[in-house]
């Protein structure tokens, strides 16, 4: 149980285009999902916390108009990188928190590698 999927697993796009990444909790409901960004050989940096039915909470320094997050259901959150540029190339990982658990164990998706040409 507690499986999180991401789609696509990798994407290559041209500079200026927008890319949508989906994060799904497959066998549990997740009122809260998280989006992280990871550069090569570095740690995960939390970008935003996505709450079902409400606006996402962005971390300091993350542009909310650049990284649009939608959490329309208890099993799906999407991250849209708008007008992508080469510096947005990174590994994007989502995670989901099981609603009933209080100690914040998160289950991670396999990640999406974005390459912007």
Partner 1 sequence: SQQGEEDPQALSIQEGENATMNCSYKTSINNLQWYRQNSGRGLVHLILIRSNEREKHSGRLRVTLDTSKKSSSLLITASRAADTASYFCATVPLSGGYNKLIFGAGTRLAVHP
CB of 105 to partner 1, least distance (A): 6
Considering the complex, state which of residue 83 and residue 115 has its C-beta at the smaller distance from partner 1.
Answer: 115
Say how far apart CA 52 and CA 87 lie, in whole Å: 29
Contact string (CB under 8 A) for partner 1, positions 67-106, x = contact: ------------------------x-x-x-x----xxxxx
Q: How far is the CB of 38 from partner 1 (least distance, A)?
A: 9
CA torsion sign, 106 to 71 to 19 to 3? positive
Distance, in Å, from the CA atom of 96 to the CA atom of 115, rounded to the nearest integer, reads: 24
With contact defined as beta carbons under 8 Å apart, do 112 and 104 qualify?
no
Binding region for partner 1 (CB under 8 A) out of 11-19, 37-45, 65-73, 79-87? 37-45
Report how far residue 45's alpha carbon sits from residue 23's, in angstroms, rounded to the nearest whole number. Answer: 17
Q: Are 56 and 48 in contact (CB under 8 A)?
A: yes
Using CB under 8 A as the binding rule, whether residue 107 contacts partner 1 is answered as yes
- Positions touching partner 1 (CB under 8 A) are 4, 6, 32, 34, 41-46, 49, 91, 93, 95, 97, 102-111, 113
């Amino acid at each position: 149980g507690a499986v999180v999927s991401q789609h696509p697993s990798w994407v290559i796009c041209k500079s200026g285009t927008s890319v949508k990444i989906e994060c799904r909790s497959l066998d549990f409901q997740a009122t809260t999902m998280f989006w992280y960004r990871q550069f090569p050989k570095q740690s995960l940096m939390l970008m935003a916390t996505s709450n079902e039915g409400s606006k996402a909470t962005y971390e300091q320094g993350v542009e909310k108009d650049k990284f649009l997050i939608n959490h329309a259901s208890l099993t799906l959150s999407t991250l849209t990188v708008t007008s992508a540029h080469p510096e947005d190339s990174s590994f994007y990982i989502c995670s989901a928190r099981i609603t009933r658990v209080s100690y914040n164990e998160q289950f991670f998706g396999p990640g999406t590698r974005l390459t912007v040409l």
